[in-house]
Every structure is written in structure tokens, then in C-alpha cells.
A and B are shown apart, each in its own frame.
Chain A
């Protein structure tokens, strides 16, 4: 009888994917899955503490008006919880210190990056990379092929080889502050997912296989521990074969490719407690 696992999906203020992300957590085997709104955290009516994993779902926080997730990052960094008087962000840092997991998808990934939670090279929490306007200058919804880095410590992609998932963003181009940062990401195997050309199976800078022009075709990265993971593509959008754009013409397993990432997270929690 393994221990019970619990996931929280943070919603509100412009998130859009909380429901399907919560659904993916359930498919991944989490016993408790709650959708908690930012406002409940701010008021102190809820906290991250009871949960094993925090999911930051896709959306348009504050409309991405100041650049994707910028205003929300500012909000989390400077808000004090009404009922306790404790800075809201300390909940996030202690959540991480206590070895919990965090997953940022699309807008959630942008938020983690702009908070400095990813890649947090050598554990430093400050912004080292960013996600900016696609080279196309457009928001685009298209499915892409991804290759997982087998050497990565990311707990979510354990045993994953390639993934086929949709990207739905206008600001997904991964850019690092300098080449040292890129080298360090590579050295530490913090590059978890890369856009690939489905024919060659090699990483690519070619549009549209690389939909945004990301450096090193980076689609997702983790922190040095592998417990914090962010990616631009949407695993929660491929939970069943009928989500696949060609499911009417291809033989596909009943379950999509998304739930396994969440299952891996659950298994990690159980095996490490």
C-alpha cells in the first residue's frame, strides 16, 4: 500500500489549461488533485504546503501584457499573504527546499523562467534565460516532435524517448543570457526536451519543426535536481488518442503521450518518501 500523492494546479488571473492539467494529474495516478486559485493563496485561504507537486498551467497571465508571465512573476515576488503577513514567494521557495516537484507548462514555464526558478544553474534563483517572441512573430498552434535527453535528471521524462505534442504560443523562443549559460545547461544535462526533425530524429533549427527558433532547439529544461521542469509544448493536451491530429488514420495506443510524464512524477514521489 503506497503512500497517497497530491497535486495542486494553480489557476486564476489568466490561466487557461487548469482543467486538462488536473485531468492529466489524475490520469497520472495522483490520489488528490486540487485546482487552487492565486487569490486563495494571496488571501491565505489555501497554501502549497499540503501538496507533493505544483503544476503551473498554460494561459495568458495578466494577458501577457508586459511580456509573457512578467506581471505574474512581479505579483508572486512582491505579494504578502493577507491572513499571515508572510511573503507569498517564500511558500514557493520552501516548497522547493522541501524537495517537492514543480511543473511549468507553456505560460507556466515562462513564469518559472522569469521567476528565476529555472534553470537555477548551480542553485542560483535569478533569471538566466528567457522565452521570447517566436521568430515567426506569430502565435501558432501546431504539433511538434520532441526528443528527451536520456542523461537528464528530470524526473518527469524518465524512460521517455520521443514525444509528439502541440505547441500553442507566441513567445516560446528559448534564449540564454550568454553562451556560458547554454554550455552549462548542456554540461549539466538540464536540457530535457529538444525540437527534432521527425525524419532525421535530429534536433533542428528548421521552421516549423522548430516552431519558434529556440537556441539549441530547446523545448524544455529542468533545474539541477531534476525536480523542477518546464516545457513549452502541452503534455496535458495529449491525454487520449483522439487528441492526436491523425488519430483517424493511424494505429495509436488508447492513452496519449502526456499522462506518462505525470505518472513518472507520481512514481518518483512514492519511491522517494
Chain B
């Protein structure tokens, strides 16, 4: 019988978890009074243990004698009103359970049968006179997610009646009676073909299904299959492999499609692959332009981009999205997102040390009060879950979370966006080999390292290639395990330095199917023996083993003569490694289970067989139209209201819960200023502790501009990322960018009539990417696209605003010259770089006032912008710049207020001194979000030098930093239009997100 040990805080000890839960209930749910909440951890031991063992474990690894008590097979709490027990569904990753099992084996010093397992859960004891209905709400809305967890609710009497009885352990039941594979008959009509794809969660279009059908009816295929003991018709293993390999997620079909772009009054334009025509082209043009100064080492071809850093190291950078899983289970989805993207730089070249994480989230308002559509969680729960997932993923991995932001828009209700980024430091030379290059050789063994395979994450790749719908599979949701991954990466870095492998890649979307498939492209084939694969539990069919997205796994291509050494080292390091087969030059991917072949696919067909998409993009101007006139208002009140807005207000409560200093190289932290709470523009860190060379990491993202024009949205996102980096002292001649597109479905269909316009938006965004990055000299080194961020259930459809996240890494030659945004000294001069235009279209001010239309902020002269930023860098290098901050969301007024309250100083600004074009109102000067603008603080003594440097550029002295609290702005008519205390400004800015 399964034995149960309960561990919880002593009655006299404060129950921090219980209090946190109680606070949440009071804040989020409107139900009766909960007087208090006590908690206890549940450990379920599914194996032969003696009473003495249980005591040894309870008193040993499981409880803390100072603050905790335990009970064995009887209730932890005697007096309470309700008890809720939350456990994991069978097969869901249970990290504490894995650790507890390891601890038990060590503590008891015995070996246990394979079947021995430990499962964990939590019991919540509620004190208070509330109805069962209320308790059910608490359980479902705060304590558990029924997609991955089980909920049991007991009244006191019910629980005390049964608490000593047996409870089954949540083990996966072996249903594996099926044959090793199923044949799928594709000789059916189109309707049936489409049904096969839909019912099988394959996300393959009819055209693709027909193409597969054609391949299998081909004579040569048929002959080859009989010759190799394969059935004539496709096996379910093969169709799953093709579905993963051909998924939008893995093959980026839309970015590679042939597109006809139509714009009123213009000739139709043919675009063959957005990726080639814009993204790749940007990089090649920039590299040509830079010539010898080119910093790119590896772009687009690997899991992450690689650029030079110093004489011995390169910087590796990748940003991923994990939107769909995060919609279903915010915690697990985000945790998997961060732990997953960590494997991308690690799986680049020969591997690298991970030095920083970034995260950017897009949510609906946490204060959303409407009705939440089916299968969608309340935005506050999504925010909290995602925040905690990234916290655990980043903190436990020992990687500082240095930069990020949160963007709010109601349209993220259907699908939140969760961008996770990771930077790595890669040695240029690894034992005589280039660190950024890798190649599997025929004969190399396929060795899978790290976690075991379970049913988790099956169909993740295909699932994220569709809108969220009723049938979206719970198995696509999983929970990451940072420690298993940490052990794996610790080990692999040693294996790398001992030259034990030729290539390495991670098991992410598509699992082995994608990773082995990709690596096999080096050699032109592979043989995989699935019966060797280490499983979390019995009952997986071959196709499940091959496409499972169970986390924390990487594949190494290990030369035959190094296999023994590799496996021995992995044992010493307590990491599981399994020889799954070898890479070949056969031209085929062969998969066997024991002696039985279950799949044989032609490599050429797998990777290049899928039909090209042909799409039409139709642009029409929907956003513009003249600005709706707005009544003159109290600009002081407007400034305060802007500071409170979700997209502007302080995000400190999130930032504090991320470790942004681990690894010891932190130079500019996310929070800065007199009270360590000002909003830094970008992060600066020193990856090598005995050097002062550093990097700046920043981002730009403004989805709201897409409502007028995605070209402007993209241009402004790029410009903001660059300005943010320049604010902290980055060298604009040493930048690299990543483009992450999250779009609403741009493929027209019955359920998606507006596809052609959304595709036109995508084309325009790509054009801006090319136009701006080439002039700014930013090579794009990596990126990702997520094209199906729609919610479609019943007649409810929610499409996200087209969103580009532009992430930037830049060099800071000497971090001792870095700059922060807080005002430093009264009497210093305040300069503004750039030109202010009446660009309030889709601005925070316009949204706040409900004003439609208007001119969207536009990058009009990128060449002059980059000249300004380059000159600013010279000024920083000469030590002229005391503080610097960009004018973006909320415009000049917000930027100035932030510099004042962060530096605890006042300021006097004369708006007449601003270099502007066409602004006729003070509101435009204060709140316009024109790009290319920066505020700079300079000492009077250095003013001359500053003005000489900028002699031919838009630099204007607009005011001074003053002692005290007063922020004063004089308007076009000389009269003060804003008189504001920085203390009130800060209070407003901090008041919104007080969770």
C-alpha cells in the first residue's frame, strides 16, 4: 500500500505559504471570510517501506525539526473547516517527488525496484465559515490547475473519517497493448485526408497530406519499403514524424511562402520567402557594409546566433516564445519556456556557458473584469503564473534575469505572449576547434543526455501551429525541471572541453523527431533504436517516444572511439546518457523498435518535400485618418494618469523576484537610482569577472502601433531597443539584433477571413526590419516566428495585435563608463536629442483619452538617428553624460518624471526650447512618442564640449536639474503647464502593480 508522510509548519510557527494563499483569496475572490490557512506537504511513497523507514525519512530529509512537524499515515491537522488536497495527475513532472525518491534511496541505503516511485502534493486546511462552493472556487482559481493537477475537497468530518485509509498513488497505468505501429491508409478522398490530419492533431494542410500520399504511392518508395520490411502504407510513426518536421513551428512555412503583395495604387509585388527577402538580406547587407568590422560568427543556421565579444569569447543569443502552453498552464508553460530557451544557446556550436536571461510578457489587464472565455484563465492568474514560472526557471538555473518588460493590451486575453531569451558566453577556441561550429559525422553515435521520456509535451509543436481551440491537448503542457538540466549542462561543458562530441543539439519542439532529424542532415541519415530510450514509466508507444517533448534532454553526436569515455563521465556526474543509435549516410531516417522497423523516411523528402505555400497579402490603410480633436485638459493630471498606466507603471514587484545579479557581473541592474527603484533603460553586465569589457542587453516592443501601421510599429521597436542600449553607454557600431514575430493568423480561411490584411501587416513589418536595421548597421543573428496567436472557440475569436519583439545585445567597451537614467546633480543641464513631432497616434496618451487615428510615431530619418546615437556614445566615452533616458511610452513628460523621482531631484523645462516640427499644443510636446529622442544630463562645465560634438545634429538645451521636489514644465506660451511634485509622481507610478 502507498505510505503517506505529511510535513507542515509547527502550530506556533508562521505559515508563510498559508498566509500568501489567504491574501490571494481576499484580493482575488469575493467569498466568505477565511480566518486562516494552514498547509502541509504530502509525500506518497509507492513502494515497500517499513515503519522505521518512514520515521527515518520524516525526521531526516523531509522535515525541518526546528519549524516543522510531521505525521505518518494520519492527518496533519485535527481542527479545521475544510481541507483541499492538490496532487499531480499521473505522468506530470513532479520535481519534488523526484528529489524525495533520490533522498529516500540515499537515506535508506537500499536499492529499490524500478516501480518504486514518490509523489508529492499539498494539503490546504481552511479555517472559516465558508460554503463548499467557495472552497471549490479557491481550489480551481487559486490552488490548482486541473489540466495537470488533481483536486480533492473534504469537510473536516469527511477527512477525519478517511484520513488513515489507503489512497492510491498517481502512477501512469500501462495501456501499452497496441502493436508497435499502426498503418494509416492514405488512399482515401480529400475529405478523409483532412479528417486524418484534424483527428490526429497533426496540423497538416490538405495539400501537405496529398503530397505525403503522393510520396507513398510512388513506385520507388513502394519498392524501397518492401525491400526494407516496411508496409506499403505509411505508419503512424512516420506520419507523426512528418507532422512535427513540417509543422509551422519547425518549418516556418509562412515566412518561406511565395507571397503576392497588393497595395492600392501600386504594382503587385512578388515576394519569394519573407525570411530570405528581408531577414536574411538585412544581415548580408549589413555584413557587406561592415566588411572587416563584421562581428557575426554564426547566424540563422544554428539554435542561436553567435557574434564576437572579445579576443577569446563570443556572445550567443536566442529568444523564444512559449505562448500556447502558457495560455493553458502559465506556470508550467513559462517555466518550460525559460528552461527550454536555455538549451538553445547551449545547443549552439559546441555549447556555451549561459550568462543572462531576458523576458518580455504580453498580457491582458490583470484588472480585467469582463467574462473570461472558455479555456482561458484570468489575466492576473496568467501574469502571476508566468512570473513564478520564469522566477523558478531563471533563479534555479543560476542565470541572472537582467532585462525585460510587460506589455498590456486586452487582446492578449485569448493568447498571452511569453518571450524568453538566453545569452551565452562561448570560447572562440575549444581544443583547436571553432566553438561556434559543429558537424555530426556518419558513424557518430546518437547519445541522448539528461531527462527521461514521458508522455509530456506530445504534440507541442503541432499544437502551437494552430489557434487555441476546444481540442487543444493537455499533454502539450509540461513542467520544466531546472535541476536535472543544470546537472546535464554542468556535465556537458566538461565533455565539450574534453572533446568528447562533434555536435550537440537540444530536444525541444518535436522531441527526438526534430533533433535527430536536424542533426541527421549533416550526414544524410540515421538509425534510431527506440527500445533503448529511457522512459519515465511504461506504456509509451514508439511514436510517442519519438515525438515526446519531455524536457531537459540534449543529443550529442559522439564518435565511436569516444562513446565509452562519454558514458563513463556521465555516470560520474550522475547524469543519464543513452546510446540511441547512429548517424548514417544512407539518405534515410530509419527507426526501429527491437528488431522491428517502424519508420523509414527519405531525408530529402522529410526536409524539402513539403509544398511551398502561395499566399496573397492585401494592404489597406485602416488606422489613420486625422486625429480626433481632444479637449485641452489638465496636463499635470494627465501626466499622473499616464504614470499609473499599466504599460508605464513600475514593474518592481516582478523584477525583485528575479535574481538579476547571480554570476557576479551585474553593472547596470534593472532597477537604479537613489532608492534602487528607478526603471533602467537596459542591462549592462561583465561576463568575464577579471575584465571590464561588457555587454548591454535591451529590447523594444510597441504592439499598439500596429493598429495604424506595422511598418511604424517595427521601426519604433527597433529604434527603442537601440536607444535603450545607447542610454547605458553601448557602442552602436557593435550591435546585434533578434527579431521575434508573434502574429495573428495571416492565412485566410473560413474561420479567419482577414488573413490577407494580416499578411500585408507582416510584409510591412519585414520591410521596416530591412530598412531600419541596414541603416543602423544591426545584423539580425537569430529570431523566431509564432504565427497562430489566435483564440477561436465557438463564435468567440480573439486575435492578438501583430507584435514584434526586437532584442538587442551590444558591446560596452568599458563598463566603468556605463550610465544610468537617474538625475545625478542639481544645476546640471538637461538636453534633448531628436525632433518632436505631433505623433500621438496610438500613443499611451491617445489610448488614455480614447482618441482614434492620428499620426503614428514614425522613424523618418534613420541615418540621422544613428548619427545621434554614435555621437552620444562619443559623449559617454568622454564622460560628458551623467544620466540618459529615452522618450518613448508617455513621451517627454513621463521620461522626465522618471529621471526626477529616480534621482530624487526636481527639474525645470522650457518646452519652447524643444526642437520640434508641427506641434501646435503643449500636449503634443509633452506626450508625443516620436522616436529618436533622448534626454541627457550634462554638467554645465562640459556643456560646450557636448554642443560641439552635436553641432550638426538636433540637440537642444531644454532645462536644468534643480534641488527639491518640483518638476516644472513651461509650455508654448511660457506659462508653467505642469507643476508636479516628484514624490506624487513616484507614488502614482508605483501605485498600479502592488501585488
Instruction: Give residues in A with beta carbon < 8 Å to B.
Output: 11-17, 19-20, 23-24, 37, 39-40, 43, 45, 58-60, 62-67, 70-71, 73-75, 78-79, 114, 127-130, 132-143, 166, 168, 175-177, 213, 234, 236-237, 239, 242-243, 245-246, 248-249
With beta carbons under 8 angstroms apart, the residue of B67, B398, B656, B686 that contacts A132 is B67
- Please measure, in the bound complex, the distance between the C-alpha atom of A76 and the C-alpha atom of B440, giving whole angstroms: 39
Known: A58-B662, A70-B64, A176-B66. A245 touches B818 (CB 8 A): no
- List 13 additional contacts besides A60-B396, A132-B13, A168-B659; criterion CB under 8 Å: A13-B486, A16-B398, A17-B664, A20-B665, A20-B689, A70-B62, A70-B103, A75-B103, A142-B656, A177-B65, A242-B686, A248-B883, A249-B903
With beta carbons under 8 angstroms apart, the residue of B96, B664, B822 that contacts A66 is B96
Question: Which of B61, B657, B664, B816 has the most chain A CB within a 10 Å cutoff?
Answer: B664
Q: Is the Cβ of B676 less than 8 Å from the Cβ of A78?
A: no
Q: Is the Cβ of A140 less than 8 Å from the Cβ of B14?
A: no
- Pairs across A and B, CB under 8 Å, 28 listed: A14-B396, A16-B663, A17-B398, A17-B663, A17-B664, A19-B664, A19-B689, A39-B573, A45-B572, A60-B396, A62-B99, A65-B99, A70-B61, A75-B106, A79-B106, A127-B65, A127-B66, A132-B13, A132-B64, A139-B391, A141-B657, A242-B686, A243-B667, A246-B676, A248-B672, A248-B822, A249-B673, A249-B824
Q: Is the Cβ of A135 less than 8 Å from the Cβ of B16?
A: yes
Q: In the complex, what residue of chain A is closest to B824 when comparing beta carbons? A: A249
Chain B 640-674: CB-based contact to A (< 8 A → 1; otherwise 0): 00000000000000001111111111111101111
Q: Is the Cβ of B689 less than 8 Å from the Cβ of A66?
A: no
B482 at the A/B interface (Cβ < 8 Å)?
A: yes
B281 at the A/B interface (Cβ < 8 Å)?
A: no
Known: A37-B490, A130-B66, A249-B822. A168 touches B662 (CB 8 A): yes
Tell me how far the C-beta of B544 lies from the nearest C-beta in chain A, rounded to whole angstroms: 27
- Please measure, in the bound complex, the distance between the C-alpha atom of A63 and the C-alpha atom of B395, giving whole angstroms: 10
With beta carbons under 8 angstroms apart, the residue of A59, A129, A236 that contacts B398 is A59
Chain B 815-855: CB-based contact to A (< 8 A → 1; otherwise 0): 11011101010000000000000000000000000000000
Tell me how far the C-beta of B656 lies from the nearest C-beta in chain A, rounded to whole angstroms: 5
Q: Is the Cβ of B664 less than 8 Å from the Cβ of A243?
A: yes
Q: In the complex, what residue of chain A is closest to B99 when comparing beta carbons? A: A65
Q: Is the Cβ of B16 less than 8 Å from the Cβ of A139?
A: no
B109 at the A/B interface (Cβ < 8 Å)?
A: yes
Known: A66-B96, A66-B103, A138-B657. A248 touches B65 (CB 8 A): no
Q: In the complex, what residue of chain B is closest to A171 when comparing beta carbons? A: B16
Return chain B residues, CB-CB under 8 Å to A23. 664, 689-690
Q: Is the Cβ of A74 less than 8 Å from the Cβ of B676?
A: no
- Please measure, in the bound complex, the distance between the C-alpha atom of A133 and the C-alpha atom of B15, giving whole angstroms: 9
Chain B 87-98: CB-based contact to A (< 8 A → 1; otherwise 0): 000000001101
CB-CB contacts below 8 Å: B483-517 with A: 483, 486-487, 490
Q: Is the Cβ of A63 less than 8 Å from the Cβ of B483?
A: yes
- Please measure, in the bound complex, the distance between the C-alpha atom of A74 and the C-alpha atom of B100, giving whole angstroms: 11
B20 at the A/B interface (Cβ < 8 Å)?
A: yes
Q: Is the Cβ of B103 less than 8 Å from the Cβ of A71?
A: yes
Q: In the complex, what residue of chain B is closest to A140 when comparing beta carbons? A: B656
Return chain B residues, CB-CB under 8 Å to A71. 61, 99, 102-103
Q: Is the Cβ of B19 less than 8 Å from the Cβ of A137?
A: yes
Q: In the complex, what residue of chain A is closest to B484 when comparing beta carbons? A: A63
Known: A67-B64, A70-B64, A141-B661. A78 touches B106 (CB 8 A): yes
Q: Is the Cβ of A141 less than 8 Å from the Cβ of B658?
A: yes
Instruction: Give residues in B with beta carbon < 8 Å to A.
Output: 13-14, 16-17, 19-20, 60-68, 95-96, 98-100, 102-103, 106-107, 109, 391, 395-398, 481-483, 486-487, 490, 572-574, 656-669, 671-674, 676, 686, 689-690, 815-816, 818-820, 822, 824, 883, 903
Q: In the complex, what residue of chain A is closest to B686 when comparing beta carbons? A: A242
Return chain B residues, CB-CB under 8 Å to A24. 664
Q: Is the Cβ of A243 less than 8 Å from the Cβ of B67?
A: no
Q: Is the Cβ of B96 less than 8 Å from the Cβ of A243?
A: no
Q: Is the Cβ of A43 less than 8 Å from the Cβ of B572?
A: yes
- Please measure, in the bound complex, the distance between the C-alpha atom of A70 and the C-alpha atom of B59, giving whole angstroms: 11
Q: Is the Cβ of B659 less than 8 Å from the Cβ of A65?
A: no
Q: Is the Cβ of B658 less than 8 Å from the Cβ of A66?
A: no
With beta carbons under 8 angstroms apart, the residue of A74, A129, A137, A248 that contacts B106 is A74
Return chain A residues, CB-CB under 8 Å to B676. 142-143, 245-246
Tell me how far the C-beta of A7 lies from the nearest C-beta in chain B, rounded to whole angstroms: 16
Tell me how far the C-beta of B86 lies from the nearest C-beta in chain A, rounded to whole angstroms: 16
Q: Is the Cβ of B17 less than 8 Å from the Cβ of A137?
A: yes
Q: Is the Cβ of B673 less than 8 Å from the Cβ of A246?
A: yes
Return chain B residues, CB-CB under 8 Å to A234. 661
Tell me how far the C-beta of A216 lies from the nearest C-beta in chain B, rounded to whole angstroms: 15
Tell me how far the C-beta of A78 lies from the nearest C-beta in chain B, rounded to whole angstroms: 5
Return chain A residues, CB-CB under 8 Å to B671. 245
Q: In the complex, what residue of chain A is closest to B904 when comparing beta carbons? A: A249
- Please measure, in the bound complex, the distance between the C-alpha atom of A59 and the C-alpha atom of B395, giving whole angstroms: 8
With beta carbons under 8 angstroms apart, the residue of B107, B109, B669 that contacts A245 is B669
Known: A66-B61, A239-B664, A242-B667. A134 touches B16 (CB 8 A): yes
Q: Is the Cβ of B674 less than 8 Å from the Cβ of A66?
A: no
Q: Is the Cβ of A14 less than 8 Å from the Cβ of B486?
A: yes
Q: In the complex, what residue of chain A is closest to B61 when comparing beta carbons? A: A74
Known: A71-B99, A242-B667. A140 touches B657 (CB 8 A): yes
Give the 6 A-B CB pairs with smallest separation, nearest first.
A16-B398, A20-B664, A65-B99, A133-B16, A74-B61, A130-B66
Q: Is the Cβ of A248 less than 8 Å from the Cβ of B819?
A: yes
Known: A60-B395, A63-B396. A141 touches B815 (CB 8 A): no
Return chain B residues, CB-CB under 8 Å to A59. 398
Return chain A residues, CB-CB under 8 Å to B68. 67
Q: Is the Cβ of B663 less than 8 Å from the Cβ of A60?
A: no
Q: Is the Cβ of A239 less than 8 Å from the Cβ of B689?
A: yes
Known: A60-B483, A138-B657. A248 touches B818 (CB 8 A): yes
Q: Is the Cβ of B819 less than 8 Å from the Cβ of A249?
A: no
- Please measure, in the bound complex, the distance between the C-alpha atom of A16 and the C-alpha atom of B686, giving whole angstroms: 16
Q: Is the Cβ of B398 less than 8 Å from the Cβ of A65?
A: no
Return chain B residues, CB-CB under 8 Å to A15. 398
Known: A65-B96, A177-B66. A243 touches B61 (CB 8 A): no
Known: A17-B664, A23-B690, A137-B19. A246 touches B674 (CB 8 A): yes
Return chain A residues, CB-CB under 8 Å to B103. 62, 66, 70-71, 74-75
Known: A62-B99, A242-B686. A14 touches B64 (CB 8 A): no
Return chain A residues, CB-CB under 8 Å to B65. 127, 177
Tell me how far the C-beta of B343 lies from the nearest C-beta in chain A, rounded to whole angstroms: 17
Q: In the complex, what residue of chain A is closest to B883 when comparing beta carbons? A: A248
Q: In the complex, what residue of chain A is closest to B815 when comparing beta carbons? A: A242
Q: In the complex, what residue of chain A is closest to B728 when comparing beta carbons? A: A248
Known: A17-B662, A246-B674. A39 touches B62 (CB 8 A): no
Return chain B residues, CB-CB under 8 Å to A135. 14, 16
Q: Is the Cβ of B572 less than 8 Å from the Cβ of A63?
A: no
- Please measure, in the bound complex, the distance between the C-alpha atom of A142 and the C-alpha atom of B60, giving whole angstroms: 32
Return chain A residues, CB-CB under 8 Å to B686. 242
Return chain B residues, CB-CB under 8 Å to A140. 656-657
Q: In the complex, what residue of chain A is closest to B487 when comparing beta carbons? A: A13
Return chain B residues, CB-CB under 8 Å to A248. 668, 672, 818-820, 822, 824, 883
Q: In the complex, what residue of chain B is closest to A15 when comparing beta carbons? A: B398
With beta carbons under 8 angstroms apart, the residue of B395, B490, B822 that contacts A139 is B395
Q: Is the Cβ of B656 less than 8 Å from the Cβ of A12?
A: no
Known: A60-B482, A63-B483. A243 touches B661 (CB 8 A): yes
Q: Is the Cβ of A74 less than 8 Å from the Cβ of B60?
A: yes
Q: Is the Cβ of B66 less than 8 Å from the Cβ of A175?
A: yes
Q: In the complex, what residue of chain A is closest to B482 when comparing beta carbons? A: A63
Return chain A residues, CB-CB under 8 Å to B673. 246, 249
Q: Is the Cβ of B100 less than 8 Å from the Cβ of A65?
A: yes
Q: Is the Cβ of A78 less than 8 Å from the Cβ of B109?
A: yes
Return chain A residues, CB-CB under 8 Å to B63. 67
Known: A23-B690, A245-B669, A248-B819. A66 touches B99 (CB 8 A): yes
With beta carbons under 8 angstroms apart, the residue of B102, B490, B663, B669 that contacts A19 is B663
Tell me how far the C-beta of A169 lies from the nearest C-beta in chain B, rounded to whole angstroms: 9
